[in-house]
Structure 1
Amino acid sequence: MGSRAFKIGAKFVFLALQGMAAQAGGLCSADAVWLRGEFGTVRFSVDVADDDAERARGLMYVDSMPSSRGMLFAYDDAKPVAFWMKNTLIPLDMIFADAAGVVTKVHTRAIPGDLTPIPSEDPAQFVLEINGGLAAQMGIKPGAEMRHPIIADGAWPCE
């Protein structure tokens, strides 16, 4: 097989594998959250805040964040939660999800430093924070499904 034929063949295999991963919705891993909905499927690399100290610090003092990154806040049970932007330096979108990982609310462009509480309204067990304006840009809205290994009985479970 010539060099050009090998490159074309390798590219085809790569595109086929990439397509299968997209169809499967991606692999579950502790450092990634997947969202799917009418907009398609998106992946964010995340840090998980699953204890009181990590949740209290959140994304405070972070002065920039790549658009593909975020933070997933996880609680033991679904309950009403509220966030504020104390010591937060960048605008954030907050994507609230229930115990099954179904998005119930999207709060866009939370204002850096604002102490006004941002409530979940409905009980939430998971909250994904991403760069402000990104949720609207991507079309993420209530009804979308979140996928991560910490979402035990999710609407879109890890296999």
Structure 2
Amino acid sequence: MTHRNWLTAGAMCVLTAVIVAAGAYFYSPTPTAADSRVMILPVDPTPLVVATKDGDRSFSIEIADTDAEREAGLMYRQDMADDHGMLFVFDMQQQVNFWMQNTPMPLDLIFIGQDGKIRAVKHGEPQSQALISPGVPVRFVLELKAGTAARNGIDYGDLVRHPAVGTVSGPGMPPSDNGDAPNGGGG
């Protein structure tokens, strides 16, 4: 009888371990493109500032700087504060393409060169698969609630200031290139 209880207990431990391992294998703490969960990243303690011709505009931001974070972005978000956004940080200045599939909220997409200057401001339509591209290489993209750029006077050539923009490292465009040429990496 004692031998039988030991075998049953051992089998239960193995079964429990298999269930836990399977759960860990299928659980992903970062949502994928096919996942319907909203990804919320920590708000960076330093505000992002856009220097416009009418003065500085400040935003609290989440920073998406990994492939998984950039892929999930603001998908599935229903709403966001007017002074909040997400800054996408790429490893190098390159051509990028965004789309709004699985994003129910209209957005402003602000494309920023390695030097912190805005290269383009585009608008994203909810749930659209249309590609949104600045047409020039960029290092950063700031997504804000639709209409925020116009209300705050944010436009081409304005300067974006934030430690993530000022301290990027890695390969980029040569210093003599102002980022306006239509060359660069794939996006």
**Is 1:94–1:129's contact at 8 Å kept on the other side of the alignment?**
yes
- Aligned-partner residue type, residue 119 of structure 1: S
Question: What SS does the corresponding residue of 1:65 show, helix, strand or coil?
Answer: coil
**CA RMSD of the aligned region, Å?**
1.4
Uncovered stretches (5+) of structure 2, i.e. residues with no partner: 1-43, 169-187
1:69-109 deviation per Cα after TM superposition (whole angstroms, max 9, x unaligned): 0000001111010100010010000000100110010013x
Cα distance in 2 between the residues matched to 1:30 and 1:86: 29
Aligned to 1:113: 127
| Structure 1 runs of 4+ with >3 Å offset | none
1:87-145 deviation per Cα after TM superposition (whole angstroms, max 9, x unaligned): 0010000000100110010013x110000000121111011000001111111100100
Question: What SS does the corresponding residue of 1:135 show, helix, strand or coil?
Answer: helix
Aligned to 2:13: none
Aligned to 1:152: 166
Cα distance in 2 between the residues matched to 1:152 and 1:92: 24
Aligned to 1:74: 89
Question: What SS does the corresponding residue of 1:59 show, helix, strand or coil?
Answer: coil
Aligned to 1:8: none
Larger Rg: 2
**Is 2:116–2:166's contact at 8 Å kept on the other side of the alignment?**
no
Uncovered stretches (5+) of structure 1, i.e. residues with no partner: 1-28, 155-159
**Is 1:39–1:140's contact at 8 Å kept on the other side of the alignment?**
no
Pairing partner for 1:86 from 85, 88, 101: 101
Question: What SS does the corresponding residue of 2:160 show, helix, strand or coil?
Answer: strand
Considering Cα pairs closer than 8 Å and 6+ residues apart, tell me whether 1 or 2 has the greater RCO.
1
- Aligned-partner residue type, residue 117 of structure 1: L
Q: Given the two structures, how large is their TM-score scaled by the length of structure 1?
A: 0.75
**Is 2:49–2:161's contact at 8 Å kept on the other side of the alignment?**
yes
Is 2:153 aligned against 1:142?
no
Question: What SS does the corresponding residue of 2:163 show, helix, strand or coil?
Answer: coil
Pairing partner for 1:65 from 80, 85, 110: 80
**Is 2:99–2:128's contact at 8 Å kept on the other side of the alignment?**
yes
TM superposition shift of 1:31: 4.4
- Paired-residue identity, %: 38
Cα distance in 1 between the residues matched to 2:49 and 2:63: 13
Aligned to 1:130: 144
**Is 2:111–2:119's contact at 8 Å kept on the other side of the alignment?**
yes
Cα distance in 1 between the residues matched to 2:58 and 2:104: 23
Report how many aligned residue pairs link the two structures.
125
- Aligned-partner residue type, residue 57 of structure 1: A
**Is 1:31–1:48's contact at 8 Å kept on the other side of the alignment?**
no
